[in-house]
Every structure is written in C-alpha cells, then in structure tokens.
Structure 1
Amino acid sequence: MALDVDDASFAREVLAADQPVLVDFWAEWCAPCLAMAPTLDELAVTLAGTVKIVKLDVAGNPAITSQYNVRNMPTLIVFKQGQPVDMKVGAGQSRVQLIKWLESHAA
C-alpha cells in the first residue's frame, strides 16, 4: 500500500529517503488518479525495498504541489537523494511500463 504523505511529512518521507521515491500527486476528483491507485498500491508492495511509493493529495497540500509545479493529475515524480529526477504526467502507463520505469531509477 502506498504511504500517504503531506506538506509536513514530505521532507522526511521523500527528500530524506535512502532509496528512490515515486510521489503520486493525485486528487480525489481525478478519475485517472483513482483508476491508477490500485496499481500503485500493488507496486508499493511489489517494489518494497527497491522503490518507495507515496501519495500526496494535491487539494490538501498546496505548498508541495506548487513547489514542484504540479498542474495536472496524476503527476508521478521520481525523487533520488532528495532531488526530482524524472516525471510522468497522466495515466497512460501500464503496470509493466511503470515497473520498468521505476526499476530504471532503482539501478
């Protein structure tokens, strides 16, 4: 299950993480976000220990959302050593594509 983070826990859970972190910027009103949620929750278990997956609700966390210039949902950003290194916008990726993308950042 993906971990929920907010403006207060973002630095601790994402920026200070010792492994790559995928942040799913999502919104409750976003149908593609809700459609992707089960896949991301499954990948959080499958890739545990390799890639950490967290979710940030954009509606309740405007500081982080604006800091990373997130304007469309879903936006997926991979962080390594506290820095954003890659981003995907939209829900067009399959489970297999997401795994390959995340594993490329875990290597």
Structure 2
Amino acid sequence: MAIVNVSDTSFKTEVEATGTVLVDFWAPWCGPCKMIAPILEELDKESTNLKIAKVNVDDNPESAARFGVMSIPTLIVFKDGQPVDKIVGFQSKEALKNVVSRHQ
C-alpha cells in the first residue's frame, strides 16, 4: 500500500473504514516528524494489512482538534473506524510495530 495524505474532508472516507489504519499527525516544520517519516515508509513496505495515512495539522486543523492532537508527531491507530491507541512523539520502528500489532 502507499501512504495516503488525508484532509479534513477525506478523513472519514480514508480512515474511518474497516481495517487497521495508522494516522500520522504531522507538520512540515516538525523535526521529529521528519525523523519518523522514513520509519513509516518502511512499515508501509513491510505491512500488507496496515494502511498508513498522514494528516498535515497546519492544513487540516479540524481533524487534529477532533482527536485531541496537542503535540506532533502524534500517531493514532484506528481499528474499524475507531481510535484504539495513541502515540505521542518520535518512536522507533519496533515500538510502532508493537503498538500496531496489538490491534491487527
């Protein structure tokens, strides 16, 4: 799967569906967000049953506010359209895999 960029208007269609979706709330000026991006690319290549979506908080403040995103990067795991886990700050690839695997 390819990582999808999600907007406030496409959030419901792209994220709140069936399956497991890892949503990265980020901004272009955020250093830790830039550090986690290649890790998400690797996870995307390795996972066949995980969708990864990115939400730019500067361009899509409604989605960020709706899920209480106060710091970035914030990653939220959605399972069948419902948020089930939240990770704030930079995390290693193994830590992200562990969190996601609990919900697949």
Match for residue 34 of structure 1? 34
- The structure where helix makes up a greater share of residues is 1
Identity between Structure 1 and Structure 2 (%): 47
CA-to-partner distance for each residue in 1:36-73, whole Å, 9 max, x for gaps? 0011011112113x211110000000111111111100
Aligned residues: 103
What root-mean-square deviation, in Å, do the aligned CA atoms of Structure 1 and Structure 2 show?
Answer: 1.0
> Gapped runs of 5+ residues in structure 1?
none
1:2 Cα deviation after fit: 1.7
Match for residue 61 of structure 2? 62
> Gapped runs of 5+ residues in structure 2?
none
Q: TM-score, normalised by structure 2?
A: 0.93
Runs of 4+ with deviation above 2 angstroms: none
Q: TM-score, normalised by structure 1?
A: 0.91
- Separation in structure 2 between the aligned mates of residue 77 and residue 99 of structure 1, nearest angstrom: 13
- Separation in structure 2 between the aligned mates of residue 83 and residue 21 of structure 1, nearest angstrom: 10
